[in-house]
Amino acid sequence: MRSMQFDTKDKNGNKITCEVIATYHDDETNKDYIVYTDKTLDENKKLKIYYSLYKQIDNNIKLIDITDINDKKIGLKLIEELINDIRE
């Protein structure tokens, strides 16, 4: 399986390369979600995983901040389902 990666910037404007874990399109809202990692570990030595809305423009991924609580719930549910699938 080929890994999908994209570049973004951290809070300080530094370029970071992230790896896509999964994407999801919600037909009801017509929104696209992405689950990804920057391959760093948290204080418990666990891989940091993030989620966001996104748009794909040409071959580039543009992350969109999630401000709507329903979008946050969908993103968290997606991560939960991915983790459960991995455990099985």
pLDDT per residue over 27-79, tens digit each?
Answer: 888 999 999 999 999 999 999 999 999 998 888 889 998 888 888 888 788 88
Give every CB contact of residue 79 below 8 A, 6+ residues apart in sequence: 35, 49, 51
CB atoms within 10 A of CB 28: 6
**Cα 25–chain centre separation:** 12
pTM as predicted: 0.81
